Amino acid sequence: MTMSEVLSEVRAQAERGIILNNQESNQPIESFQDKHIEQSSERALSREVLGVVEAAALAAGRLMGTGEKDDADAAAVTAMRRTMSAIPVNGTIVIGEGERDEAPMLYIGEKVGQCLPGQPEVDIAVDPLEGTNLVAHGLPGAVATLALAPKGGLFHAPDTYMEKLVVGPDAKGKVDINAPVKYNLSILAMSLQRDIQDLTIVILDRPRHEQLIREVREAGARIKLISDGDLMPAVSAALIGSGIHAVMGAGGAPEAVLTAAAVKCLGGEIQARLRWRNESEKKRASAMGIDLSEEKVYHTDDLAPANEIVFAACGITTGDTLKGVNYFGNGARTHSLIMAYQSGLVRFVDTIHLNRERGGRVKL
């Protein structure tokens, strides 16, 4: 397939809504250009990925407040997987819903996309419903999210925890996860040209964070405790003017990869260290060839090393950055964020999805 044929295929199918596919972390990182896809088509792929997260959000949003977190998650997974099938790529899920024997779809290693000869091979990280409890109880901040990169471009994170430190562009390269909390807050404050007491730090509200919370308070910074979902607060920390200046504390390692993809697009930084919960996690990670040391620091480019990355998130319940799904008589409205690293694309998308069978009309 020639370059012009591939470009024509991607652009044409982007108008219909499509998605992505596959690779192995021990292989050299390829690029979309190796498969004859240029920056303009990275943007085309970003539009297709947008349709995937929108579909997941629209499905999960219907179950907001029902108390049925498993049903909401299943709805998001099913909608995301179905929409992915049309994307013109050879995709592999590297961050997903678990191992093959643990999940019916979007499991680690699953092949997704059209998977036709000549189509680009990509790694895909997904969280169809980041914040299952948030949706189940009608709480803010739930999203559907996805990141993709050329083969080898995303870290295959084990299912465990990582201690994380996420900051925006101004503090990138200046903070150090190994340093005391007060030191990092001082550096962050100086980078942002403000006092420590002007900072707002997001931390998951967990018993394991009691010491961290105490140290942040003693340093004088403000804290925003969240019940679930540290991904979008991390995105907010990399957005100037969001009112969130850093994310600290331990959360899911798979989410750290999605966070890295997002903050890399925004010029921010994540630093993370593995935090094992049991020996079973270590054994599985060792089989994956992962360094078991808890002292090793993973930086943004360790978690998302690719130079071509597409990240997308669609709000399910309204949070700090994205509005939730709004349903009305003849359709629904979604609010999404789509980014492409190499293209420098950062786009907030407000979409109305009309039900033509009900005579859809658009109202501002």
CATH assignment of the domain containing 69: 3.30.540.10
Of 270, 280, 304, whose CA–CA distance to 159 is shortest?
280
In this structure, is residue 139 part of a structural domain?
A: yes
Q: What is the mean pLDDT of residues 245-263?
A: 98
Of 72, 47, 54, whose CA–CA distance to 62 is shortest?
72
pTM: 0.88
With cut-offs at 50, 70 and 90, classify the pLDDT of residue 16. Answer: very low
In this structure, is residue 191 part of a structural domain?
A: yes
Quick one: how many helices (H) and strands (E) in the chain?
10, 14
Boundary-marking domain end, from 281, 303, 325: 303
Q: What is the pLDDT of residue 41?
A: 64
> From its phi and psi, is residue 208 left (phi > 0), alpha (psi between -120 and 50) or beta?
alpha
With cut-offs at 50, 70 and 90, classify the pLDDT of residue 18. Answer: very low
Q: Do 36 and 69 belong together in one domain?
A: yes
* 323-347 confidence digits (pLDDT tens): 999 999 889 999 999 999 999 999 9
Residue 271 sits in which domain range? 161-303
In this structure, is residue 363 part of a structural domain?
A: no
Q: What is the pLDDT of residue 39?
A: 54
Pairing assessment for the beta strands 143-150 and 310-315 based on DSSP bridges: antiparallel
Q: In angstroms, how far is CA 130 from the centroid of its own chain?
A: 9
CB 60 within 8 A of CB 73: yes
CB 294 within 8 A of CB 273: yes
User: Domain tally for the chain?
Assistant: 2
Q: What is the pLDDT of residue 29?
A: 59
CB 232 within 8 A of CB 319: yes
Q: Do 100 and 224 belong together in one domain?
A: no
Q: In angstroms, how far is CA 88 from the centroid of its own chain?
A: 21
Q: What is the pLDDT of residue 330?
A: 86
In this structure, is residue 8 part of a structural domain?
A: yes
In this structure, is residue 76 part of a structural domain?
A: yes
* 235-250 confidence digits (pLDDT tens): 999 999 999 999 999 9
Q: Does the pLDDT value for residue 193 go beyond 90?
A: yes
Q: What is the mean pLDDT of residues 264-274?
A: 98
Q: What is the pLDDT of residue 50?
A: 95
With cut-offs at 50, 70 and 90, classify the pLDDT of residue 32. Answer: low
